[in-house]
Amino acid sequence: MFTGEFRHAIDGKGRVAVPARFRAELATGVAAELKPERAGAVFYDLACFRALAGDRKGALASLRAAVEKGFRDVTLVETDPDLASLRGEKSYLAIIGELKKPTN
C-alpha cells in the first residue's frame, strides 16, 4: 500500500506522527478494512480528493481501486465536477469503458 521511506516519530502526546503524503492513503485503507462493503465508495472519495489536490496519477489509481472494490456508478463518475481534471486521461477513459460494460 505504501511506497517510500520515512522515520517514525512520536509527538509530545505519545502519538505516532504520520507524514502528510501518507495520511489520506492510510485513512482510506483503514476505512476500507473496517467497512469492506463501503470500500469502493471510500476509494472513490479519495479519488475525488486527489483530483481536487492536483494529483491526477493518484486520483486515477484511487478511481481504479474504487472500481476494483465494487464502485459501479458510472453516471456519477462522468458528471462529478471533482473528477473534471481526469476526463481527458486515457486511464480515465478506460475506467469509464470498463464501467459501461454489461455485467453478468
Q: Helix, strand, or coil here: 10?
A: strand
Mean pLDDT of the chain: 85
pLDDT cut 70: percent of the chain above it:
87
Residue 54: which H helix or E strand, with range?
A: none
The answer to pTM > 0.85 is: no
User: Nearest CA to 45 among 77, 18, 22, 21?
Assistant: 77
Tens digits of residue pLDDT in 36-76 = 788 899 889 989 989 998 999 999 999 999 999 899 999 99
